[in-house]
Amino acid sequence: MKISELLDSNFIKLDVESKDKREAIKEIVDLMQGCSQIEDLDSFLGDIYAREKLGSTGIGEGIALPHARSKGVKRLTISFGRSLSGVDFDALDANPAHLIFLIGTPFDDVGNYLKTLAQLSRLLKKEYFRKKLLLAESKEEVLSIFKETEE
Cross-strand partners of 38: 73
| Rounded Cα distance, 131 and 64, in Å | 15
Going along the chain from its start, the domains and CATH numbers come out as 3-150 (3.40.930.10)
pLDDT at 151 exceeding the cut of 70: no
Selected catalytic residue, list 21, 67, 82, 98: 67
Contact predicate 136/22, CB 8 Å: no
Q: What 3-state DSSP class applies to 7?
A: strand
Q: What is the pTM of this model?
A: 0.94
99-133 pLDDT tens trace:
999 999 998 888 888 898 889 999 999 999 999 99
Of 100, 95, 98, nearest to 84 (Cα)? 98
First to last CA, the chain: 12
67 counts as catalytic: yes
Q: How far apart are CA 77 and CA 5, in angstroms?
A: 9
| pLDDT tens digits for range 2-21 | 899 889 999 999 999 999 99
